Amino acid sequence: MSQPGGSQASPCAVRGNCPPPTQPPTRQPPRLFPTVDVPDHAHYIIGSVILLVGVTGMLGNAVVLYVSCRSRTLRSPSNLLVVNLAAADFLMSVTQSPVFFVASLRRRWVFGEVACELYAFCGALFGITSMMTLTAIAVDRCLAITRPLALLGGVTRRRMLAVMAAVWLYSLGWSLPPFFGWSAYVPEGLQTSCSWDYMSFTTTVRTYTVLLFAFVFFLPLGLIAVCYFAIFRAVRHAGREVRQLNSGRSDKAYERLRSEWRLAKVALGIILLFVVSWSPYSAVALMATAGYADLLTPYMNSVPAVIAKASAIHNPIIYAITHPKYRAAIGRYVPLLGAVLGVREKDPRSFSSGSASSHRTTLTSQSSQAVRLSAYRPTGRWGRSRLSSASDSCWTESEADRSRIGSVAFCHGSIDFTAEMAGPASPSSPDRGAGADTKPLL
């Protein structure tokens, strides 16, 4: 049978059993994440705050990294911990704030499920790394003050790099499990950022949250508390013994210990700010884990997350205010920022006249090992004969740059960085006699 025009009809058309015409494949729209019924200005305010935090964190920590690489005074093996902290905070700001800001402008998470998981993974990795680095700094300060002879000559660049590698591996070990089914990375709060799932009341989610806080928050926090209790006890013991000795010759060692204590207080300030920043977020997560997730509002989830991410800006701000060597390096290598901070190219509070001072160690240095703190016995007692011997001798301090051969010798009359951190040199001198007064340590 032929159709008009001479065309032949298909057999199926004659029988009436032709299959329906095939439709071209349609592209499925991407899955949209839910939104939260809150005013638009709430998203815009939170987005603006996180943008300000991110820009400050990126610029501040970039300056720390830059001046640490340029300045030889900041390139000691122990100071690698400070560089590691700045690197973790810088990466936290780079990976978190811009994405959070864009999502806040769109009022929902618009980057897809994979990007959500990567975003949350980066936040967990760099946040845990910062906490563990602060713990390492506290341990370093504790050993420098309470066990100076135990580490004399033992702090090398290789050992510090090994500590840093251990910190990153430990952090990675706690950041990867949500990819493999132990908890998960999901949107949180106002649905403009992602974190691990602490809202679901399941066994896997609850066990991961509890163990995470136990091993990356409470255990490091307990170790930091023990370290600073030991530091406080050591300096208090030493101050009491020196006052009882009433010897001008012991006053120089006492001044060194006061300097180490002030350095430890700077590090303690950074640690306390970090803990305060993460405490609200920790309280929210543990509250949800305990079964009270229904009491949490989107604001109660998102605002603590913003405060926690703001911990990345504390490190450079405290250094810019209280760290004379760092301030002097800013004045030399970043003159514009130095002018804003009111720092000249060479800060007289931090640079000594000798060329050997360029290799003195900085915030986490072990300078107390090489000065008369060796007079401090492990039992916490100061011996009169030990102090006299220490005051009459010259100790050596290893160069911060381990590639150089040899060490720099210096006596009790030289100026080191820890003394500079404490401010102007004390008028006390070994020649003052037995009636010299000692300044209160605490």
pTM above 0.85, yes or no: no
Q: For residues 207-224, give the mean pLDDT.
A: 94
> Residue 316 pLDDT more than 70?
yes
Structural domains of the chain ordered from first start: 40-240+270-352 (1.20.1070.10)
Whole-angstrom distance, CA of residue 439 vs CA of residue 422:
12
**pLDDT of 236:** 79
> pLDDT grade, residue 335 (50/70/90)?
confident
386-404 burial code (b ≥16 CB/10 A, e <16)? bbeebbeeebebbbbeeee
Burial label, 434 (beta-carbon count in 10 A; 0-12, 13-18, 19+):
exposed
Highest mean pLDDT among 171-175, 332-336, 392-396 belongs to 171-175
Residue 169 has pLDDT above 90, yes or no: yes
Q: What is the pLDDT of residue 19?
A: 64
Q: What is the CB neighbour count within 10 angstroms for residue 251?
A: 24
Provide the CA 395 distance to its chain's centre, in angstroms: 33
Q: Give the pLDDT confidence score for residue 433 in this predicted structure.
A: 40
In the predicted model, is pLDDT for residue 23 greater than 50?
yes
* Average pLDDT value for the chain: 74
Over 60: is that where the pLDDT of 323 sits? Answer: yes
In the chain, what is the straight-line distance between the N-terminal and C-terminal CA atoms, in Å? 110
Residues 388-404, mean pLDDT to the nearest whole number:
34
Query: Cα–Cα distance between 71 and 412 in angstroms, integer?
Result: 25
158 vs 391 pLDDT, higher one: 158
Residue 2 has pLDDT above 70, yes or no: no
Give the residue, 252 or 265, on which the prediction is more confident.
265
CA–CA gap between residue 271 and residue 277 (Å, rounded): 10
pLDDT (average), residues 5-25: 59
Which tens digits make up the pLDDT trace of 400-430? 333 333 333 333 333 333 333 334 444 443 4
Distance CA 396, CA 71 (A): 22
278 within 8 A of 415, measured Cβ to Cβ: no
Amino acid 21: pLDDT: 64
pLDDT-based confidence at 79, cuts 50/70/90? confident
